[in-house]
Amino acid sequence: MKFELTSEQELIRKTAREFAEQEIVPHAAQWDRESRFPAEVVEKLGELGFMGVSVPQEWGGAGLDTVSYILAAEQISWGDASCGVIMSVNNSLACWPLVRYGTDAQKAKWLTPLAKGEKLGAYCLSEPQAGTDAAAQRTVARKVGGGYVINGTKNFITNGANADTLIVYTMTDIEKGHRGITAFVVDAKAKGVVVAHTEKKMGIRASDTAQIVFEDVEVDDDQLLGDEHNGFKVAMQTLDGGRIGIAAQALGIGQAALEHSIRYSKEREQFGRPIGQFQAIQFKIADMAMRLEAARLLTYRAAAVKDTGVRHSKESAMAKLFSSTTAVHCAEEAVQIFGGNGYSKEYPVEKLMRDAKICDIYEGTNEVQRMVIAASVME
Ligand code: CAA
């Protein structure tokens, strides 16, 4: 068992950290205040190869392993969780299903611009009545001539308002339940694709979350991704990868909370000494560091298992669940260590607390991760 990163992985981590320090951290509070999508950062992430880290080079990606992708996602999220999820959704939820299930023609047309960061992707699974119960969806793709016509409403779509390319899950045989779901790759600018509204959110406010309505959207047969009626499997396998990306996002948020806490506790004085000299503060910092290290091991291991090509639902669920709760814990403790200042927008940690909470919810709630883990260990 080896715990060291390769020199290539270490370089990716360092490059992402420096990029986050220089291009993200100085602006993150303003983007959050203004709920502004950081298009200029997304463009630069594309130039660095971070929008398609594990996509083969022949399809415009960086051709690196999942561990490298996770290292980059962690550091970008350390800079700003919104930038982290924009990147993660493009890599995990838009590029990956095209790499795994796309034809060469689909890869050339749809995947390559996504992996280069020239276009942005989104993943359309959830619906108003189908969140955790993803198989209960009602978006329909009706067969007509040489294609299909899609009608329905998709909710909580990260990148939805800025995306160019959508991976859309539809019912092609509603009687068959999850065995009647089919995935399509859809042009977000196609006639009938309407961004109905964007959510006003507690955190990750620089990343957009949209409701998208599909009104008689015509797609050709060659936009079908994978086999007809195999879409639920495509969706679930995609989320197995996506959940490692969210675990990495949570690590970045938690690490930022830890670093702010250490810095502040050395500077802030009460009772004539820095508060970091009190055990009450030291114990909080020790627990944050320990939990983060454990979360990191679970997350990197899930990424390494994914790279072996075997099913990794359990490993991903454990990584996401543990990392998310760790991020929330670290952010809350950071606010507590900062005291009244922690509750103020003048200081950076209240944003971390707002950003961390979504990790408990999207790409499968903590409860869903427990369902996946239990199903795996009890089978
Ligand atoms: N890999 C391969 N196949 C899988 C699989 C996986 N990870 N998970 C399930 N399957 C297969 C099963 O083997 C089963 O196959 P058969 O039909 O051959 O028997 C089939 O799929 C159905 O499986 P389940 O009976 O387990 O399905 P279920 O309906 O009970 O659902 C669930 C299980 C875990 C609750 C699942 O629905 C789930 O993960 N729900 C949460 C969805 C989710 O994460 N939504 C977030 C969407 S993205 C988002 O957050 C917004 C964004 O933009 C970031």
Domains parsed from the chain with CATH numbers = 7-119 (1.10.540.10), 122-229 (2.40.110.10), 239-378 (1.20.140.10)
Residue 347 clears pLDDT 90, i.e. is over it: yes
Residues in the chain: 379
The token pair at 6 is: 């390769």
Closest CA to 312 of 324, 300, 322: 300
Cα 239 to middle of ligand 1, angstroms: 8
Distance between CA atoms of residues 57 and 231, nearest Å: 26
| pLDDT single digits (tens) 267-286 | 999 999 999 999 999 999 99
Whether the predicted pLDDT of 1 surpasses 90 = no
The H-or-E segment that residue 66 falls in is helix 66-79
Please indicate, yes or no, whether the overall pTM of this predicted structure exceeds 0.95. Answer: yes
Q: Which whole number is the average pLDDT over 73-90?
A: 98
Residue 165's pLDDT band (cuts 50, 70, 90): very high
With beta carbons less than 8 A apart as the criterion, state whether 55 and 63 touch: yes
Q: Tell how far the Cα of 364 is from the centroid of ligand 1, in angstroms.
A: 9
pLDDT at 58 over 90: yes
Work out the pLDDT band at 79, boundaries 50, 70, 90: very high
User: What pLDDT, on the 0 to 100 scale, is given for residue 220?
Assistant: 98
Mean pLDDT of 94-121: 98
Task: Name the more confident of 1 and 279.
Answer: 279
pLDDT band at 197 (very low <50, low <70, confident <90, very high): very high
Q: Which atom of ligand 1 is found nearest the CA of 313? A: 7
- Residue 355 has a pLDDT of 98
Instruction: For ligand 1, say whether the CB of 179 is within 6 Å of any of its atoms.
Output: yes
Residue nearest to atom 29 of ligand 1 (CA): 135
Residue of 132, 167, 233 best suited for mutating to test ligand 1, as the one with most atoms within 8 Å of CB: 233
pLDDT at 2 over 90: no
How confident is the model at residue 306, as a pLDDT? 98
Stretch 297-316: mean pLDDT: 98
Quick one: average pLDDT of 127-154? 97
Task: Say if CB 353 and CB 280 are below 8 A apart.
Answer: no
Hey, how many other C-beta atoms are within 10 angstroms of the C-beta on 176?
Answer: 12
Q: What amino acid positions are annotated as catalytic residues?
A: 363
Q: Residues 315-328: what's their mean pLDDT?
A: 99
Minimum-distance ligand 1 atom for the alpha carbon of 246: 54
Atom of ligand 1 nearest to the CA of 89: 54
